[in-house]
């Protein structure tokens, strides 16, 4: 029907009063609202399903291809190295070799330290920087991300696992639970990727992540006071909150602090912070802070060895197993109550690891202007952790500090992860005896210097400036981690993120519109004070989809706008409201409850002798309104393409005067 009207050459204006030719000249052409054709239910469902789970159209390259070509494309989709590897050359390898060696020098001391955060022997941190990076290099889509253990996930696992088993008194059960949790972390990540549910990690808001990471950084630094001050484990609290840690620290001041340990730790921490400052000031010297941890380990180990400081109470790393990753499939719990424990911890650790890795991958991809497939990343991360759990590794993910160094060192592809992995392998096989006299204090200094970068003051300040509710989420997560525990902070972050979503959904914004002088444009009078209200007409805009969760509020808010406006008009002895125009262009969808709310609104307006008018509803909304028969209730001539059309039709004299 609309197409026929469009083609009618005689349709120049919408006739308001056919006898009044002068009015026809003054009233502009008013286009009829387009009534959408009836949609095929199956087709509509398929379209919705595609946009939800396959918005990136992953099967597009497979169209119109032979079976052999589809097989090759399928392998390349699963193993991206088969695609970019065809154009690999010596120039790219040079960049990958340098960056791989650089991040290896950074990761080795970090891995030994992070394994202690997870309450594991040092070799397990090194194992986790050997197998997982190799798997990721073949399956990952990011060129810059560096894989291995990270501080936040290590602390999270160490905290959650220690609640189930004591790592000192029950080492075998604890280790088995580590591998079980790692296995299910990988299963969680891979499942999300295969089912294309990557959008779920976006429910954890950026503000909540900033607060959680900042709180975790402080918690990690506090945990390092044990090694930094030389406090024995038996005199240090097993809690992670700041109050318990500080009580433990100051309570052991007179009998447990070791001055030799403090001198070593503080000296090298100052050195590490100085190198970070140098690297930050001069980007060309990025390699200085990258190799500083390894230099610190070498120097401090040599110092302890020649001075026998370990006999004076300076705690050392001790023996590190020289074996290459031993198989651990038989140690994973596949039944019993420990299976459920590992499953729950694995899901939490897997989601946090996934959030960090995807964020890092997207950050560096945007800097180099290429795309990272989130679902492929999840499959790659999940696969490497599943295989890692079978080869004595714990949860590995993308490390921001190592990825930044990798990027600055000029990495070209994921081959830098392979280079790093080979260096770690050689270290485990041949060089681990050299780390026997490495003081725990230096590992604490390395971790403290590394996690400082997780506290993003600038981001928190920006969040405060932009959105106060986001800042509440940020601070809620931060304070939860610092004053209670990592898992409580994470729970607060998730709860506040969901609360924000619910608040925005259940309380959509509405606005009163006025006409911008000398135009036919209608805008929010709060944003444009010069906008003029149309006498006898109230124009309300709803800035959200209308669902069961907000339909009643939307109806009541519109009526409240109407009541307030009528009170103002009575007070000023101005003409009453005759038309209520609802601007619906921001309304992307509506459900049965929303339509029912509009029906109730229409009945309420009828009692006040006010006509309900709709302006510019979208195709989906209009289709549902027609399916419910709503246009017949208010009259099809009460639905318009624009607010200007509605005003000109409903109150032509008023609109012309304005």
pLDDT in tens, 517-554: 988 899 999 999 999 998 889 999 999 999 999 999 99
Average pLDDT estimate for 2-25:
40
Q: What is the DSSP letter of 533?
A: P
Average pLDDT estimate for 617-631:
90
pLDDT at 25 over 50: no
The C-alpha atoms of residue 399 and residue 135 are separated, in whole angstroms, by 16
pLDDT digits (tens, 9 = 90+) for 560-592: 999 999 999 888 888 889 999 999 999 999 999
User: For 603, what's the count of Cα atoms within 13 Å in the CB-facing half-sphere?
Assistant: 5
DSSP 209-249: HHHHHHHHHHHHHHHTHHHHHT--GGGS-S--SHHHHHHHH
Look at residue 464 in the predicted model and tell me its pLDDT.
93
Look at residue 267 in the predicted model and tell me its pLDDT.
94
Look at residue 597 in the predicted model and tell me its pLDDT.
94
pLDDT confidence tier of residue 367, bands split at 50, 70 and 90: confident
3-class SS at 556?
helix
Angle at 492 between CA 486 and CA 493, to 5 degrees: 90
pLDDT at 19 over 60: no
pLDDT confidence tier of residue 516, bands split at 50, 70 and 90: very high
One-letter-per-residue 3-state SS of 411-473? CCCCHHHHHHHHHHHHHHHHHHHHHCCCEHHHHHHHHHHHHHHHCCHHHHHHHHHHCHHHHHH
Average pLDDT estimate for 86-106:
91
In percent, how much of the chain has pLDDT > 90? 46
Report for 11-20, 141-150, 359-368: range of highest mean pLDDT:
141-150
Contacts of 155 (CB under 8 A, 6+ apart): 117, 118, 216, 219, 220, 223, 240, 486
pLDDT at 420 over 90: yes
CA dihedral in degrees (112, 113, 115, 121; nearest 10)? 60
Look at residue 9 in the predicted model and tell me its pLDDT.
40
pLDDT confidence tier of residue 5, bands split at 50, 70 and 90: very low
pTM as predicted: 0.78
> Nearest Cα to 357, choosing from 290, 292, 417, 431?
417
User: For 191, what's the count of Cα atoms within 13 Å in the CB-facing half-sphere?
Assistant: 11
Q: Which pair of structure tokens corresponds to residue 618?
A: 């979208």
3-class SS at 178?
helix
- Cα 187 to Cα 111, 180, 342, 625, distances in angstroms: 23, 11, 12, 44
Look at residue 238 in the predicted model and tell me its pLDDT.
80
pLDDT confidence tier of residue 39, bands split at 50, 70 and 90: low
The C-alpha atoms of residue 257 and residue 226 are separated, in whole angstroms, by 9
Average pLDDT estimate for 75-90:
89
pLDDT digits (tens, 9 = 90+) for 428-455: 988 888 898 999 899 999 999 988 888 8
In percent, how much of the chain has pLDDT > 70? 90
Look at residue 451 in the predicted model and tell me its pLDDT.
87
CA dihedral in degrees (381, 383, 386, 389; nearest 10)? -60
Average pLDDT estimate for 175-188:
96
> Nearest Cα to 446, choosing from 102, 114, 99, 214?
114
pLDDT digits (tens, 9 = 90+) for 461-471: 999 999 888 89
pLDDT at 559 over 60: yes
Average pLDDT estimate for 233-258:
85
pLDDT at 657 over 60: no
Q: What is the DSSP letter of 311?
A: G
Strand-pair category, 639-640 with 611-615: parallel
pLDDT digits (tens, 9 = 90+) for 260-299: 999 999 999 999 999 989 988 888 888 888 889 999 999 9
> Nearest Cα to 582, choosing from 552, 614, 621?
614
Report for 52-66, 214-228, 360-374: range of highest mean pLDDT:
214-228
- Helical H runs in 233-392? 242-251, 259-281, 287-307, 337-368, 374-389
Look at residue 422 in the predicted model and tell me its pLDDT.
95
pLDDT at 23 over 60: no
pLDDT at 180 over 80: yes
Computed over every residue of the chain, the mean pLDDT equals: 86
pLDDT confidence tier of residue 51, bands split at 50, 70 and 90: low
The residues pairing with 639 across neighbouring beta strands, listed in sequence order, are 614
- Cα 229 to Cα 69, 249, 259, 373, distances in angstroms: 62, 9, 7, 45
Q: Which pair of structure tokens corresponds to residue 544?
A: 């959200």
């Amino acid at each position: 029907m609309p197409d026929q009207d469009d083609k009618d050459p005689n349709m120049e204006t919408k006739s308001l009063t056919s006898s009044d030719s002068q009015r026809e000249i003054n009233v502009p052409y008013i286009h009829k609202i387009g009534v959408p054709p009836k949609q095929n239910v199956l087709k509509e469902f398929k379209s919705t399903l595609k946009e939800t789970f396959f918005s990136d159209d992953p099967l597009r390259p497979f169209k119109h291809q032979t079976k052999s070509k589809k097989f090759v494309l399928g392998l390349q989709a699963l193993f991206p190295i088969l695609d970019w590897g065809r154009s690999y050359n010596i120039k790219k390898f040079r960049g990958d070799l340098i960056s791989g060696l650089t991040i290896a020098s950074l990761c080795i001391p970090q891995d030994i330290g992070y394994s202690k955060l997870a309450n594991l022997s040092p070799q397990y941190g090194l194992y986790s920087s050997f197998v997982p990076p190799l798997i990721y290099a073949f399956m990952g889509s990011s060129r810059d991300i560096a894989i291995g253990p990270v501080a936040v996930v290590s602390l999270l696992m160490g905290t959650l696992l220690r609640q189930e088993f004591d790592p000192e008194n029950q080492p075998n059960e604890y280790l088995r639970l580590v591998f079980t949790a790692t296995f299910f972390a990988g299963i969680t990540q891979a499942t999300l990727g295969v089912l294309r549910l990557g959008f779920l990690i976006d429910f954890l808001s950026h503000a909540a992540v900033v607060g959680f990471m900042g709180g975790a950084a402080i918690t990690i630094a506090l945990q390092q006071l044990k090694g930094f001050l030389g406090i024995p484990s038996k005199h240090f609290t097993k809690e992670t909150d700041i109050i318990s840690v500080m009580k433990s620290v100051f309570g052991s001041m007179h009998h447990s602090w070791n001055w030799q340990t403090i001198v070593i730790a503080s000296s090298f921490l100052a050195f590490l912070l100085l190198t970070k400052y140098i690297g930050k000031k001069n980007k060309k010297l990025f390699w200085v802070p990258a190799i500083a941890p390894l230099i610190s380990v070498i120097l401090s180990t040599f110092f302890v060895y020649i001075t026998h400081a370990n006999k004076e109470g300076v705690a050392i790393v001790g023996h590190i197993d020289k074996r290459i990753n031993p198989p651990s499939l038989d140690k994973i719990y596949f039944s019993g109550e420990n299976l459920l424990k590992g499953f729950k911890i694995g899901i939490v650790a897997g989601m946090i690891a996934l959030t960090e890795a995807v964020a890092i991958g997207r950050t560096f991809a945007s800097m180099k202007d290429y795309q990272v497939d989130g679902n492929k990343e999840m499959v790659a991360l999940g696969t490497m952790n599943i295989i890692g759990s079978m080869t004595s590794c714990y949860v590995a993910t993308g490390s921001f500090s190592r990825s930044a160094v990798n990027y600055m060192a000029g990495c070209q592809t994921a081959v830098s992860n392979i280079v790093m992995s080979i260096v770690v392998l050689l270290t485990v096989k041949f060089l681990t005896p050299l780390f026997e006299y490495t003081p725990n204090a230096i590992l604490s200094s390395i971790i403290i210097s590394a996690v400082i970068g997780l506290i993003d003051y600038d981001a928190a300040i920006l969040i405060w400036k932009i959105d106060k509710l986001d800042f509440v989420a940020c601070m809620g997560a931060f304070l939860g981690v610092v004053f209670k525990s990592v898992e409580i902070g994470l729970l607060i972050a998730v709860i506040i993120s969901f609360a924000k979503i619910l608040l925005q959904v259940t309380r959509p914004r509405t606005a009163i519109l006025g006409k911008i002088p000398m135009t036919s444009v209608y805008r929010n009078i709060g944003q444009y004070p010069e906008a003029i209200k149309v006498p006898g007409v109230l124009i309300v805009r709803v800035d959200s989809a209308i669902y069961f969760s907000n339909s009643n509020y939307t109806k009541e808010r519109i009526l409240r706008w109407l009541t307030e406006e009528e009170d103002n008009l009575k007070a000023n002895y101005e003409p009453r409201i005759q038309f209520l125009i609802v601007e619906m262009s921001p309304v992307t969808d509506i459900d049965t409850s929303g339509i029912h709310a509009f029906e109730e609104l229409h009945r309420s307006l009828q009692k006040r002798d006010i006509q309900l008018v709709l302006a510019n509803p979208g195709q989906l909304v209009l289709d549902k309104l027609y399916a419910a028969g709503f246009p017949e209730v208010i009259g099809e001539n009460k639905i318009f393409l624009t607010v200007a059309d509605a005003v000109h039709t409903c109150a032509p004299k008023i609109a012309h005067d304005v």
